[in-house]
Amino acid sequence: MHDPQAHLAPIPDEFEGDYPIRVRGLVNRFDDHVIHDGLDLDVKRGEIIGVVGGSGTGKSVLMRSIIGLQIPQEGSIEVLGRSITDARDDDDIDIRSQWGVLFQGGALFSTLTVAENVEVPLREFYPEITDELRHEIARYKVLLSGLPANATSKYPSELSGGMKKRAGLARALALDPELLFLDEPTAGLDPIGAAAFDTLIRSLQETLGLTVFLITHDLDTLYEICDRVAVLADKKVIAVGTIPELLALDHPWIQEYFNGPRGRAAKDAQDREAAHVVKPNPEAATSAMEQE
């Protein structure tokens, strides 16, 4: 597919390290309420990392810290090799153009159409491009997010919950980001819509080479699309790994989360799906037919 955004100036100094997100010794507190106390996290380039933890453990605050919306009391955060926590160099190209964010609920501007919403970051970061090119990029991102072309002219109030998420995703992808932040993307979707959204995220991540930071409570999402999972508890990331690696740990929250009834159901669903995608062994099929 032709990418109209190929016309935009490339971002210099493309990051080539292994860890586009590095958090060290993060401390966040609101008055005397300590949310994070010495939190460390490395996110690998090209992975989908799921971030889980009980309600109020600070998953959203962590995401907001990484994208510079929350100034931590202590610690350092590097994104794509640049410090988010130190004062910014005015000459530095704006790092915010290199990530896209899908906030809970989509956070669309209700008085703008879907296309106009997608155009907001384009106007901000590339004011020099023509109206025609901006419209073309927005349309392309809407289609990329799995919405029909006629969604471009609709207002958020005319969209279903799933369509709103896709519109928010289109806006998050507007600037061809390297990093994608998703805060509970499948919350509020029915299971079929949630599974479709998971598939979309995985396929976009593979096609566009994204690194994805995904906060979720959805165990199916964790099993389906996350390469690793980071667990927030006790004001820190207490473990990061694949689900089998996490299951090998004996932390009570991890065991209860993944081995509780919902965790087991999600695992069973994934096992069933894996069994269906196993290619039939032709020899076994032959011998089965011979036995009939």
Ligand X SMILES: Nc1ncnc2c1ncn2[C@@H]1O[C@H](COP(=O)(O)OP(=O)(O)OP(=O)(O)O)[C@@H](O)[C@H]1O
Which residues lie near ligand X (CB under 6 A)? Answer: 30, 35, 53, 55-61
CA distance 184 to 106: 10
Least distance from C-beta 57 to ligand X, angstroms? Answer: 4
Q: Closest CB to ligand X among 51 and 118?
A: 51
Least distance from C-beta 106 to ligand X, angstroms? Answer: 15
Residue 130 contacts residue 44 (beta carbons within 8 Å) = no
Q: Closest CB to ligand X among 170 and 231?
A: 231
Least distance from C-beta 61 to ligand X, angstroms? Answer: 4
Interhelix angle 131-144/161-172, rounded to 10 degrees, is 130
Nearest to 257 by CA among 51, 103, 42, 35: 51
Residue 103 contacts residue 67 (beta carbons within 8 Å) = no
Q: Closest CB to ligand X among 5 and 57?
A: 57
Residue 149 has a CB neighbour count (10 Å cut-off) of: 10
Least distance from C-beta 23 to ligand X, angstroms? Answer: 14
CA dihedral 225, 228, 229, 235 (to 10 degrees): -150
CA distance 170 to 118: 6
Q: Closest CB to ligand X among 57 and 221?
A: 57
Q: Closest CB to ligand X among 30 and 109?
A: 30
Least distance from C-beta 238 to ligand X, angstroms? Answer: 14
- The three-state secondary structure class of 43 is strand
Q: Closest CB to ligand X among 56 and 209?
A: 56
The one-letter amino acid at 291? Q
Q: Closest CB to ligand X among 70 and 270?
A: 70
Q: What HEC string does 129-194 produce?
A: CCHHHHHHHHHHHHHHCCCCHHHHHCCHHHCCHHHHHHHHHHHHCCCCCCEEEEECCCCCCCHHHH
Residue 89 contacts residue 142 (beta carbons within 8 Å) = no
Least distance from C-beta 142 to ligand X, angstroms? Answer: 28
Least distance from C-beta 260 to ligand X, angstroms? Answer: 16
CA distance 143 to 35: 39
> What are the tokens at 280?
């039939």
Q: Closest CB to ligand X among 52 and 179?
A: 52
Least distance from C-beta 138 to ligand X, angstroms? Answer: 30
